[in-house]
Amino acid sequence: MRPPISGLDLPGVFLLRELTDGAAIKRFIDEAGPRCAAIIGAGYIGIEMADVLSRRGLTVHVLEHANQVIPGFEPVISGIVGEELRRHGVHVDTGVTVQGIDTAGQRLSVLTDKGPVTADLVIVSIGVRPNVALARSAGVQLGTTGAIAVDAMQRTNIAGIFAAGDCAEAFNQVLGRPVYMPLGTTANKQGKIAGANAVGAEERFAGIVGTAGFRVFDLEVARTGVGSTEISGYGLDAISGVSRHSSRGHHFPGSVQITTVVFIDRASGRVLGAQMAGADTVAKRIDVFATALHARMSVREVESLDLCYAPPFAPVYDPVLIAASVARKAGTGSSP
């Protein structure tokens, strides 16, 4: 998305969408030698850019409109990410609205409602909107999310026109409705199915559960399913629990604390979502929850999974099992 602000076309201001954008940023750093970067938007891409630019030696300011970094994640997870950024010298400003970008001598000035931020390089990463102009002009029907409405075979409302990837909706198994969640993993699967069906196959996309992750400095962060934003947005009745547990055998070298939030449906006990942050094996542990969501497992079923234990990999109760137990007991009021 291009925000409706001035200065987006100034030299040193970049959006990051395609590989060529990444190459242009790298070239600018190599040639212009910027000392200071401002990143507008603290979503996945803004956070990843903060990491990368800091590693390149730039002073980095992250400017986020919402009151927390990685909006959509739970405050406890967002807080850990903010702390990791600050620990590595990144300046994080939340609750700030960017109003424009101007030149300031040889430098750039990012104008905000809290005052200007001087930078030599600006990255605009405020989110993604589906590119549906071509589809719309062809009379292809859009869904309520604004992306192209497709069925499980990736068919649109017009015979012979299929849609897949960032322009299309995906069926969310947890919510039981189409959503817009543009990710490479979904684009690949949908694209294969659309291509096969376009030449006569009858393949169906199983849908998504909403799994994504990223790394920032030493921290891995990942989520699957729904969080409190979707739970309140769709009027679900859920309970949640926050747990903190060792990533490996308690005294094993490299063991760190993993923080997990689990959401479960109050009435049925079905797991609805999980979010994790920690400096060890988080991104792959979230896949256990993703699998549980695909299988529509209850929290008790997750709690009793036979997961691998050996000190180099996990404590005897894996953080996934502990997190499920804590969330279940949050609903009963008993101690974990």
Ligand X SMILES: Cc1cc2nc3c(=O)[nH]c(=O)nc-3n(C[C@H](O)[C@H](O)[C@H](O)COP(=O)(O)OP(=O)(O)OC[C@H]3O[C@@H](n4cnc5c(N)ncnc54)[C@H](O)[C@@H]3O)c2cc1C
C-beta closer to ligand X: residue 147 or 231: 147
- The verdict on 182 binding ligand X (CB under 6 A) reads yes
Q: At what angle do helices 44-55 and 75-87 cross, to 10 degrees?
A: 20
Q: How far is the CB of 183 from ligand X (least distance, A)?
A: 4
Q: What are the tokens at 326?
A: 């804590």
Contact assessment for residue 229 and residue 308, using Cβ atoms and an 8 Å cutoff: no
Q: State which residue, 76 or 187, has the beta carbon closest to ligand X.
A: 187
Lookup: tokens for 188:
């690949």
If one asks whether residue 71 binds ligand X (CB under 6 A), the answer comes out as no
Least distance (Å) from ligand X to the CB of residue 212? Answer: 7
Q: Where are the beta strands (DSSP E) in the chain?
A: 13-15, 36-40, 59-64, 91-94, 98-104, 107-112, 117-119, 121-124, 170-172, 177-179, 212-216, 219-225, 238-246, 257-265, 271-278
Task: Sketch the per residue contact string, 304 through 323, with ligand X: x for CB under 6 A, - otherwise.
Answer: --------------------
Task: Name the one range near ligand X by CB under 6 A: 182-190, 192-200, 244-252, 257-265.
Answer: 182-190
111: β partners: 100
8 A C-beta contact, residue 311 and residue 252: yes
Nearer to ligand X, 245 or 285 (CB): 285
Encoded one letter per residue, x for contact with ligand X by CB under 6 A and - for no contact, window 187-206 reads: x-------------------
Smallest gap, in angstroms, from Cβ of residue 235 to ligand X? 28
- Contact present, 121 and 28 (Cβ < 8 Å): yes
Other CB atoms closer than 10 Å to residue 326's CB: what's the count? 22
Residue 164 φ/ψ, nearest 5 degrees: -160, 150
Report how many residues bind ligand X under the rule CB under 6 A: 12
Q: Is 45 in the site for ligand X (CB under 6 A)?
A: yes
Stretch that binds ligand X, among 26-34, 138-146, 184-192, 315-323 (CB under 6 A): 184-192
Tell me which stretch binds ligand X (CB under 6 A): 176-184, 253-261, 289-297, 324-332.
Answer: 176-184
Choose, by CB under 6 A, the member of 8, 17, 76, 107 that binds ligand X: 17
C-alpha dihedral over 124, 125, 129, 133, to 10 degrees? 40
* Smallest distance, ligand X to C-beta of residue 164, A: 7
For 242, the 3-state DSSP assignment is strand
User: Other C-beta atoms within 10 Å of 110: how many?
Assistant: 26
**Residues 144-173 contacting ligand X, CB under 6 A:** 165-166
Among the residue ranges 51-59, 81-89, 180-188, 316-324, the one whose residues contact ligand X (CB under 6 A) = 180-188
Is-contact 178 170, C-beta < 8 A? Answer: yes
**Residue number with CB closer to ligand X (5 or 132):** 132
CA distance 125 to 38: 11
Among 10, 23, 104, 134, contact with ligand X (rule: CB under 6 A): 134
Closest distance between ligand X and the C-beta of residue 72, in Å?
Answer: 15
In whole angstroms, the minimum distance from the beta carbon of 17 to ligand X comes to: 5
Q: What are the structure tokens assigned to 331, written together?
A: 């609903």
- Which residue lies nearest ligand X, judged by its C-beta? 165
Residues that bind ligand X (CB under 6 A): 16-17, 45, 131, 134, 165-166, 182-185, 187
